[in-house]
């Protein structure tokens, strides 16, 4: 068995693992990343597009913001449409100056990968059978296979950044974990195309035909989503059918500007709210999607991953700078407070914006009655300045919490 050593073993080279690794390295804290897939596979997953200010600042602190600052688009507002009527939420004005940055997760991931490769930091792609051990002890280690050989990585801490289907969460004994879950009765069909966006800001559209989102990656690349039944397959949707349906769900003035073209990618994502508590077990920390999933309606998934990274980064920096390990027990509480806020906002936006059809929904309401309550909810919030403020404040992101002394 080959032997490796690092202060922090990071499982997963998604945005959480790469960002944590980059921040720790800049503080001189050694880390090795173990990733199940190839780098190209990770870069092939088209996901998030909207970064909160806190995330953008963390990327700057990690020293990898050059391209994000040059190519990312600052969005000062967002459009929420209600059955064809577009309402602009002026994020900047309603929050007293806060905005979001439109810059794809794929690009952030690429920037982080390149920085890591340039600094010659160790990453094992296509690492197989990754398994943390003895995480309750002072000498945890992670075993894995790489190119047919068995490895053992000794470390002080394990950061489980391995997403919803990873191994880290399962390492916490079932009797210690509490998992909260809501699976929604629909999914999102996403489409990427090299066509100019139909509007300069994002459009979240509620319609009688179901929800649609008009997002973007650049001035020449659009990302669109449609609410679809869970029973639909990607093959059921030709490009033409997608564009036709999208046109019907967007407000008419924006649908008129839709430029259609061939899809570069189409995929269906199920919608889920999920939280695992606690997020720490001994010297193992869960970070990002490994601990929590939100439906994408609030653009919070990646941003919650970033706030976990920020908290763990502060803790590990304090541990190695002062030798005081007592702060590690703060991780789960601090992370979960912000996670639950993001979960609540994403759940609320999902409820307000989607059609629940005939589902017997939460609170014992049938789907149609639930839909009526949510139509009224959206109508109220969009029509009131205080309501729009509530949406804006949460969309730009709540502040990160500091460690206690």
Q: How crowded is residue 348: how many other Cβ atoms within 10 Å of its Cβ? A: 18
Q: How crowded is residue 274: how many other Cβ atoms within 10 Å of its Cβ? A: 17
Q: Which of 8, 10, 11, 102 binds ligand RFL (CB under 6 A)?
A: 11
Residue 296: active-site member: yes
Q: How far apart are CA 73 and CA 200, in angstroms?
A: 10
Q: Which is nearer to ligand RFL, 145 or 375 (CB)?
A: 145
Residue 42 binds which entry of ligand PHB, ligand RFL, none, with Cβ cut-offs from 5 to 8 Å by kind?
ligand RFL
Q: How far apart are CA 242 and CA 247, in angstroms?
A: 9
Helix (H) or strand (E) holding 149: strand 149-154
Helix (H) or strand (E) holding 203: strand 203-206
Asked if 50 interacts with ligand PHB (CB under 6 A), we say yes
Q: How far apart are CA 300 and CA 346, in angstroms?
A: 7
Q: Which of 103, 313, 331, 395 is catalytic?
A: 395
Q: How far apart are CA 382 and CA 82, in angstroms?
A: 9
CB of 47 to ligand PHB, least distance (A): 6
Residue 395: active-site member: yes
Asked if 199 interacts with ligand PHB (CB under 6 A), we say no
Helix (H) or strand (E) holding 102: strand 100-102
Helices (H), 250-296: 252-255
Q: Which is nearer to ligand RFL, 183 or 269 (CB)?
A: 269
Q: How far apart are CA 172 and CA 278, in angstroms?
A: 9
Q: Which is nearer to ligand RFL, 36 or 338 (CB)?
A: 36
Site string for ligand RFL, 38-67 (x = CB under 6 A): ----x----xxxx-----------------
Residue 288 binds which entry of ligand RFL, ligand PHB, none, with Cβ cut-offs from 5 to 8 Å by kind?
ligand RFL
What are the Cα distances from residue 370, in Å, to 168, 184, 373? 37, 13, 5
Structure tokens at 356: 């629940």
Residue 167 binds which entry of ligand PHB, ligand RFL, none, with Cβ cut-offs from 5 to 8 Å by kind?
ligand RFL
Asked if 223 interacts with ligand PHB (CB under 6 A), we say yes
> Which residues are catalytic, by number?
75, 204, 296, 300, 395
Residues that bind ligand PHB (CB under 6 A): 48-50, 202, 213, 215, 223, 296-297, 299
Residues that bind ligand RFL (CB under 6 A): 11-17, 34-37, 42, 47-50, 105, 127, 130, 161-163, 165-167, 188, 190, 269, 288-289, 296, 299-303, 305
């Amino acid at each position: 068995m080959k032997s490796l050593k690092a202060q922090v073993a990071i499982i997963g080279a998604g945005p959480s693992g790469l960002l944590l690794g980059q921040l720790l390295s800049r503080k001189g804290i050694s880390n090795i990343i173990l990733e199940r897939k190839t780098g190209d596979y990770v870069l092939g997953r088209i996901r998030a597009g909207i970064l909160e200010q806190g995330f953008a600042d963390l990327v700057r602190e990690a020293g990898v913001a050059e391209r994000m600052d040059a190519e990312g688009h600052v969005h000062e507002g967002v459009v929420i449409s209600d059955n064809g009527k577009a309402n602009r939420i002026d994020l900047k004005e309603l929050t007293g100056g806060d905005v979001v940055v439109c810059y794809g997760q794929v690009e952030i991931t690429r920037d982080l990968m390149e920085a890591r490769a340039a600094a010659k930091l160790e990453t094992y792609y296509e690492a197989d059978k990754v398994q943390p051990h003895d995480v309750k002890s002072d000498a945890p280690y992670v075993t894995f296979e790489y190119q047919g050989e068995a490895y053992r990585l000794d470390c002080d801490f394990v950061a489980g950044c391995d997403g919803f289907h990873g191994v880290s969460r399962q390492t916490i004994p079932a009797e210690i974990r509490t998992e909260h879950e809501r699976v929604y009765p629909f999914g999102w069909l996403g489409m990427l195309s090299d066509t100019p966006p139909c509007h300069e800001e994002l459009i979240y559209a509620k319609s009688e035909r179901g929800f649609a989102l008009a997002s973007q990656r650049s001035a020449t690349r659009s990302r669109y989503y449609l609410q679809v039944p869970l029973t639909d397959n990607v093959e059921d949707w030709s490009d033409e059918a997608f564009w036709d349906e999208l046109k019907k769900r967007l407000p008419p003035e924006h649908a008129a500007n839709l430029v259609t073209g061939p899809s570069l990618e189409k995929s269906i994502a199920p919608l889920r709210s999920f939280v695992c508590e606690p997020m720490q077990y001994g010297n193992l920390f869960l970070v990002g999607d490994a601990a929590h999933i939100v439906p994408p309606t609030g653009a919070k998934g990646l941003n919650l991953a970033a706030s976990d990274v920020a908290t763990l980064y502060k803790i590990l920096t304090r541990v190695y700078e002062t030798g005081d390990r007592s702060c590690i027990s703060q991780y789960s509480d601090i992370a979960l407070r912000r996670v639950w806020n993001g979960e609540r906002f994403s759940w609320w936006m999902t409820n307000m914006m989607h059609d629940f059809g005939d589902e017997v929904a939460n609170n014992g309401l049938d789907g149609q009655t639930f839909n009526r309550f949510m139509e009224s909810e959206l109508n109220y919030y969009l029509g009131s300045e205080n309501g729009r403020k509530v949406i804006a404040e949460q969309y730009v992101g709540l502040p990160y919490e500091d460690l206690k002394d």
